Amino acid sequence: MPDDQGRKYPDPREEDIYAGDRRISRPDVSLPDWEVPDTAYRPIPIVWFTGAFMVQLVAITVFLFAFSSQEPWLTIAASALATGAIGKWTWDRGMALAGLGWRTATVFMLLFNMLFAVAASHTF
């Protein structure tokens, strides 16, 4: 399209392009200035909390069914070991740096689920 009014359009490969006070293109990455390309994904505590909950739920269920014909203490011991390992795994993933509320909720959730294993192991 010919330039009828003598306007020079900026080349995005050579200079920044602005729309008012906002830079909409940079020559190095051709991304708008509100786009931050050098960030990294950082999980949030709810992800660690939910992961611990789901893994513990599956582990305790497996132990309840696998050891249903055994002594109840075996189910409780296996569930306690799994809960400890899941807690350590969750803390190593990043929960140790989370807020006090998330850490407290995670500990209570792990212990509360462990109570289900204790209660269920005595019903079989």
| Residue 14 forms part of a structural domain | no
| Residue 84 forms part of a structural domain | yes
| Residue 30 forms part of a structural domain | no
Q: How many domains does one find in the chain?
A: 1
Q: Which domain holds residue 83?
A: 45-121
Helices 72-93 & 100-121 angle (0-180, nearest 10): 160
Among 41-50, 58-67, 84-93, the least confident range:
41-50
CA 47 from chain center: how many Å?
3
CA dihedral 87, 91, 93, 94 (to 10 degrees): 150
| Residue 7 forms part of a structural domain | no
Task: Measure Cα distances from 9 to 2, 24, 26, 29 in Å.
Answer: 12, 14, 14, 18
| Residue 110 forms part of a structural domain | yes
| Residue 22 forms part of a structural domain | no
Q: How confident is the model at residue 117 (pLDDT cuts 50, 70, 90)?
A: confident
CA 70 from chain center: how many Å?
36
- Cβ–Cβ < 8 Å for 90, 51: yes
Question: In percent, how much of the chain has pLDDT > 70?
Answer: 65
Tell me, what's the pLDDT at 43?
A: 72
Q: How confident is the model at residue 7 (pLDDT cuts 50, 70, 90)?
A: low
| Residue 77 forms part of a structural domain | yes
Tell me, what's the pLDDT at 22?
A: 63
**Helix (H, G, I), strand (E, B), or coil: what is residue 52?**
helix
| Residue 8 forms part of a structural domain | no
Tell me, what's the pLDDT at 27?
A: 52
Q: Which residue has the higher pLDDT, 7 or 45?
A: 45
Name which of 124, 114, 123 is nearest 76 in CA terms: 114
